[in-house]
Amino acid sequence: MAIDYVALGDSYAAGAGAGDPGPDNPCLRSRGAYPVQVAAALGVDLAMQACQGATVADVVAGQLGPLAPGVTLVTVTAGGNDLGFAHVLTECAKPAWMGDSDPVIDAALTVLREDVPRRLADLYDRVRRAAPDARLVVAGYPRLFAGEDCNLLTFFSDHEMTRLNDAADELAGVIGAAAEQAGAEFVDVRTVFEGHAVCQTPEWIRGVSHPIEVSFHPTTAGHDAYARLVLERLGRPEVPEPAREPRVVQGAPTGARTRFELPDLLGEESLHGARRSGLDPDEVAALARAAPDDDAARQRLADLDAHVRSRGTPPGLTRPVHP
């Protein structure tokens, strides 16, 4: 049976966060993913190639196999992992005594400005050549934050949340421009996600979650929103009842197994940083042990973080930038 629709990209296309990924699912693909919903609404078969951790280069190297002249629809959500999505969030979630996240964000923005436009242009060109009859729909990413961090043992500051949202806006601009240049159709999801960011009600972007890999990914409701927007772009303003259960052909895993990590407040980076920042590392360790079950301990850690931020990061605590 011929494949009508090919879904390319990273965890935002694979469906991480849209339901329990289950065991033996390194790509974190979900039946709630927006491509599966789109395929069901259109009554077409789907090659699900999108995979957690995939960069644009991973999509090019490992996801384009099902593309062919008979394919009628291709969707793509890719580019976030080129900026080190999980690594940047991990660094920003750390308290101020563990260092300064600005260099990490700056490095991600350098990649965005200097490398991502060329990488996306190459990807879209390859898709066009391999599936010349397909509609190419490129879906972007939402802003994650609305000025509040309500998660247990994360320390996103107002400054960091603002910078991350600004980066999401800049990424949307880059993806949209590359899509337009390629003659693709860009679906900008930022507006529809307003009011549904991390810690808002209803929340369409998960905060810290279990399993940890799905943290900061769209919920099932978020993928519903993605699917509605893609279908609207395809001329289906009313989402129909599924025409039939789509046949979903799973592609091979592509990309690195990257994931967000909670700050290790008992690790050497934290305790050394606390000492350098003028804090008592023994107190920090005791608070870290108590915090999961103690509101007062969590508040004390938040107060220490705010105290260090108000004084600035001590010399020598700039966080290393990983490639």
Task: Provide the annotated active-site residues.
Answer: 11, 217
Q: For 157-162, which contacts have Cβ atoms below 8 Å and span 24 or more sequence positions?
A: 157/96, 157/305, 157/309, 160/92, 160/101, 160/105
3-state secondary structure of 4: coil
Q: Is 78 helix (H, G, I), strand (E, B) or coil?
A: coil
Q: Which residues contact 72 (CB under 8 A, 6 or more apart)?
A: 4, 5, 44, 133, 134, 135
CA angle in degrees (0–180, nearest 5) for 19-224-190: 110
CA 272 to CA 254: how far, in whole Å? 37
Q: In what helix (H) or strand (E) does residue 74 lie, and over which residues does it extend? A: strand 73-77
Tokens 């409701």 locate to 221
**Edge-to-edge strands, sheet with 5-9:** 185-187, 135-139, 73-77, 5-9, 46-48, 248-250
Contact 98, 319 (CB under 8 A): yes
Q: Which two tokens stand for residue 116?
A: 């991502």
The neighbour count for residue 284, using CB atoms within 10 Å, is 23
Residue whose structure tokens are 């301990």: 297
| CB atoms closer than 10 angstroms to residue 51 | 30
